[in-house]
Amino acid sequence: MTSKAAKGSMAWWQLSLLGIGCTLGTGFFLGTSMAIHKSGPAVLIPFLLAAICTYIVYDALVKMSVENPDKGSFRTYAKQAFGHWAGFSNGWVYLISELLIMGSQLMALGIFTKFWFPALPLWIAASIYAAIGLVVILTGMKGFENFQNIFGALKAAAIIMFIIVAVVIIMRGTSSTTMASLQANYEAFFSQGIKGIWLGLLYAFYAYGGIEVMGLMVIDLKNPKEAPKAGRIMLSVITFIFIMAIALALALVAWKDFSIDESPFITALQGYHIPFVADIFNGVLIIAGFSTMVASLYAVITILTTLAEDHDAPAILAKKGKMKVPFPAFLFLTSGLVITIVIGFLMPEKIFEYLITAAGLMLIYNWLFILVTYWKLMELTKWGHVKNGIGMLLIAVTVSGTLGEKTSRLGFYVSLLFIVLISVATWIVVKRQRNITE
């Protein structure tokens, strides 16, 4: 791999904070309820396994980024490793995964808003958040950084507040409900068995979605060699917060009392009649969902622009004007949001779970390709090969887990449909290019 000089202005700790802002979202705040529903109290195991795999993927991506800082990030490296077809397909798989993530975040934001405004239609709430998100993107990279830093700090503070409140409740030990919940969850820890852990893996992985956005930002670091440190610290903080918060939620409420339509952290505190706690956390959930949606918007704009510049998307999409983002790419993004909202309006039932399954799968297909690219481009030690193999195995097990039940199976079929469509498009593009060169 050839090395390029990077002219960034971001410190490593800013990248860590941005990573927290991009990762800590509805995948954790709402998706955790689904993971608990599948795995029971043993949900902690899928989250630990997902953390291990996330670190392996990030470590691979960031080592390639340090060697060759490039704004195309993983799709550029895939192209270098395997040729044009890999860069094209990798970019479009990721683009569609982020569009699906935007959809799931919008649906989640609508659900959270209905907590305060039950009569408000889902599509109206989604439209409002979509419009505000587009305004943030129009402020450019600097506005995006500032926005994510502030919201990242707010989200982390909210979860830390939950941890403190939960610890105080447990230490007081006055609630028979708490003792009953602790005992019930301890006795039922493996009640869902290995299958439960298997089924819960995808939702745990989805909670860590966002680390690839950090990879896109490595080029903005003052010193790209500090990227591994930024990722290690960010993932250590995120994993600690995830595990502690879930463990404490399970200490307060029996796992069967959690609902997939409500954040487990609101459910955990509702029975203790703490003033305004549900409202505070609902506000945090909206902030979390909105900031991760904006991270997806940023990722789509970035990848779409690099695809257009490489002629893997219509070249006009990369055309720059007076705006801080290419206006044609911005229109494409707006269209994607409109389509997402229409789908949400036509299919409100179960739409969040379908979207989260398909989005999670498309995302980890991309993670798998990052590991394959890393294996191809870099010289790995024996331990590096083992680590890479562990990451691939965890991803394969997670994907297979979606076949274990009807709802996630449908999400798997949706993701396969997109893969087939992208494969056909890749074949057409590569064949056309071969004909031109001949």
User: Identity (one letter) of the amino acid at 335?
Assistant: S
* Residue 328, pLDDT above cutoff 90: no
pTM of the model: 0.83
β-bridge partners, 11: none
Instruction: Express each pLDDT in 425-434 by its tens digit.
Output: 899 888 887 7
310's CB contacts (< 8 A; 6+ apart) are 72, 79, 87
Higher-pLDDT residue of 13, 353: 13
Q: Kindly report the average pLDDT of the chain as a whole number.
A: 81
* Residue 3, pLDDT above cutoff 50: no
Within 10 A of 257 (CB to CB), how many other CB atoms are there?
A: 15
Q: How confident is the model at residue 4 (pLDDT cuts 50, 70, 90)?
A: very low
pLDDT confidence of residue 7: 55
Residue closest to 183 by CA, chosen among 194, 199, 170: 170
Instruction: Express each pLDDT in 241-289 by its tens digit.
Output: 889 989 888 888 888 888 877 778 888 887 777 777 778 878 888 888 8
235 CB burial (10 A radius; 0-12, 13-18, 19+): buried
Average pLDDT over residues 47-74: 86
Instruction: Express each pLDDT in 373-402 by its tens digit.
Output: 999 998 888 998 999 999 999 999 999 988
Average pLDDT over residues 132-154: 77
Instruction: Express each pLDDT in 301-321 by its tens digit.
Output: 888 888 888 888 888 887 776
Residue closest to 361 by CA, chosen among 179, 212, 202, 232: 202
CA–CA dist 251, 238 (Å, integer): 20
Contact 112, 125 (CB under 8 A): no
Residue closest to 366 by CA, chosen among 399, 343, 406: 399
